[in-house]
Amino acid sequence: MDGDRGVILPDHLTYPEDWPEPPESEVVPEQPEGPFVFISYAQDNKREVAEITRYLALIRSTSGGMMASCREIRGASEFKPIWKTVRRFLGFGPSRACNQKVSLRRPKRGKARASCSMPSWVAQLPYGFGEVQYADLTDWDRQSDGPESLRLIEALRQKLDPDAPKVRQQLNAASPVEFALRNGKVILGDKPLNTSPPAHKPKDLDNLRTASVELIDNIQEEFSKRIYNFDVDALDLRLSQYANVLRQKTDNWYKYENAVRRIKSMKDEAAAGAWSNRLISDITALFERHEEMRKYLQPEQPPAGTPGAIGPAPLAAGTADAAAIGQQWQEAISDPKMRYIVDPGVTDYFKDLDADLTEPLSEPPLSDEQDDRKNRKIMRGLVNLAKAAAGFTTAATAGLTATVIGDPIAAQHILAQFNAILDKLLKIFY
């Protein structure tokens, strides 16, 4: 991008003075009228971009309202070794990783963006791209709809035509749990509710649980045999939490997923060489057993994109006062009136989500890279709160409307608190 005035800039930005004007044949194209998708790409990726553009054109022909504007990133030799990507900007402005060569401000709220990564390219996002939400299209055939391509299309629609009710619906659809009314109270369970898992072999499931607990015991015992260059106590705690879920033999798949997600997060964020090969091997085996249990615990899932399927989550693009939202969340879930309108399992789930947010909020920033990882975890925590708040408020509102909730006064009180939280959370999506 260095020295290229062929890159489109928004009105409030200017080119550096030392950048030459492009040849007449490369004048800056006029921006399309109305909302459009801007795709910037490296020269090596023209074929992939053509396929993506055709896909977007097909989506536009069926839904309307979306245009595509493509521009090659010239002089990107310094950029390609860092991260080859097709970056879809909804608005303009590079991320911090590009600011080494381009002195531009990051886009303000409303100048939202989304990105996607493509086959054979570096999967690990470099520092500075932590705030740029992306869809992983590595395994996408660029023709049929899949979970990730649907996620990207929904994100584009969301940015081009922001609509709070639609975002609420999308958050609700993206949640792995489903809220409903039973005996005058809000309950929750794995989505879709009242649907059986595809397999039913209690003995095999118990064997997998027992084997997983034994593996966790071996991993924790291994901690005492060598010094590790990471927070062993944090991993030990997360392994113990998963072991407790396994020993309880709960049939709620989301509890297993939550426990394993925390362990996966630590593994993904570990520095190179921090984990021994033995530890990586054992943790990988634990994840494999976890996946084997899925067919015995998670309800049978409808195909992606069909009614009842767990849909793609909206892509967060804005910012939020996470600490203030976390404080409001804690106050709402600890309100004494909660027990009159929700099942204890709902409160436990809300406390679980609260821990996922408060933990990264309490982490001290030690370096730019660690601060970036911390911000990613905070954003994930906020998105998960938004999913839960959207599902809960939908169910509670329906209960009040149908006058089937046990304590309407308590429900209205709690609902007002959750709606206030959700209104703040929705601002990070558009």
pLDDT of residue 316: 83
pLDDT of residue 73: 45
Cα distance from N-terminal residue to C-terminal residue, the chain? 28
DSSP labels, 4-64 = -TTS---TT----TTSPPPPGGGPPPPPPSSSEEEEEE-GGGHHHHHHHHHHHHHHHHHH-
Average pLDDT over residues 383-410: 96
pLDDT of residue 123: 38
Interhelix angle for 408-426 vs 322-333, to 10°? 170
pLDDT of residue 124: 44
Q: Is 383 exposed, middle or buried (0-12, 13-18, 19+ CB in 10 A)?
A: buried
Q: Which of 27-36, 89-98, 414-423 shows the lowest per-residue confidence on average (mean pLDDT)?
A: 89-98
Q: What is the per-residue pLDDT across 323-359, written as a single tens digit (0 to 9) for each? A: 999 999 999 999 999 999 999 999 999 999 999 999 9
Q: What is the per-residue pLDDT across 241-257, written as a single tens digit (0 to 9) for each? A: 999 999 999 999 999 99
What contacts 6, CB < 8 A, 6 or more positions away? 22, 26, 27, 28, 71, 74
- Confidence bin at 20 (pLDDT 50/70/90): low
189: enclosing H helix or E strand? strand 185-190
Average pLDDT over residues 101-114: 36
Average pLDDT over residues 108-118: 44
DSSP labels, 57-87 = HHHHHHH---EEEEEE-TT-TTTTTT---EE
Q: What is the per-residue pLDDT across 177-216, written as a single tens digit (0 to 9) for each? A: 999 999 999 999 999 999 999 999 999 999 999 999 999 9
Rg value, the chain, Cα: 24
- Contact assessment for residue 95 and residue 114, using Cβ atoms and an 8 Å cutoff: no
- Confidence bin at 110 (pLDDT 50/70/90): very low
| DSSP assignment letter at 403 | T
What contacts 371, CB < 8 A, 6 or more positions away? 365
Q: Assess whether pLDDT exceeds 70 at residue 142.
A: yes
Q: Assess whether pLDDT exceeds 90 at residue 155.
A: no
pLDDT of residue 309: 86
Alpha-carbon span 187 to 81, nearest angstrom: 50
Q: What is the per-residue pLDDT across 43-90, written as a single tens digit (0 to 9) for each? A: 777 777 788 778 777 776 665 555 465 555 444 433 333 333 333 333
Percent of the chain surpassing pLDDT 70: 73
Collapsing DSSP to helix, strand or coil, 135 comes out as: strand
pLDDT of residue 5: 55
Q: Which residue has the tokens 């996966």?
A: 264
Strand-pairing partners, residue 67, are 36
Mean pLDDT, the chain, whole residue set: 78
Q: What angle do CA 384, 385, 389 make, to 5 degrees?
A: 120
For residue 155, the tally of other CB atoms under 10 A from its CB is 28
Q: Record the pTM.
A: 0.70
Alpha-carbon span 191 to 8, nearest angstrom: 44
Q: What is the per-residue pLDDT across 7-19, written as a single tens digit (0 to 9) for each? A: 566 666 777 776 6
pLDDT of residue 318: 82
Average pLDDT over residues 143-165: 73
Alpha-carbon span 117 to 359, nearest angstrom: 29
